[in-house]
Amino acid sequence: ALGSMSPSRQRLLVSVTTFGLVSFIVMGLYFQSDPRMADGVLQGSEMVWWEEMLLAFSVISIFVNIGFSSSHAFSRQRKKWAWLSILIWPTSYVYSLGVALGFLANGDSDAA
């Protein structure tokens, strides 16, 4: 889990998964004005190989971040953060950035 990693590996994981999220957003904006989206749907057969790879990386990195953030939060008895990370996935990025940057100390737990 995120807590068993060294701080440098935590920051690396957070950086890679954040890049995946940003690339997902950028791809969405890029495809919005793409002529292949004229019908409102872009299927894998319409994408070139690097677009498929970037989309796969983006989606996988989001789920990896959710998994690591929620498992770290559960292991630290931060059940509110864990459930928020699972149910409202952008909070997993807030939590993992907080852990990696030291705003959420590894020994602290939720007040409730």
Does a structural domain hold residue 110?
A: no
- The pLDDT of 88-109, averaged and rounded, is 81
The confidence score (pLDDT) of residue 112 equals 38
- Indicate the angle between helix axes 90-101 and 49-75, nearest 10 degrees: 70
- For 25-70, the DSSP string reads HHHHHHHHT-GGGTTS---GGGS-HHHHHHHHHHHHHHHHHHHHHH
**Maximum separation of any 2 CA atoms in the chain, in Å:** 51
Task: Domain of residue 13: give its range.
Answer: 2-101
Q: What is the mean pLDDT of residues 80-87?
A: 96
Count of the separate structural domains present in the chain: 1
Do the domain assignments include residue 108? no
83 with 51: CB under 8 angstroms? Answer: no
Q: How many CB atoms lie within 10 A of CB 79?
A: 14
- Whole-model pTM: value is 0.79
Tens of pLDDT, residue by residue over 13-65, are 889 999 999 998 998 888 888 888 888 888 888 888 998 999 899 999 999 99
Candidate from 3-7, 16-20, 26-30, 83-87 with smallest mean pLDDT: 3-7
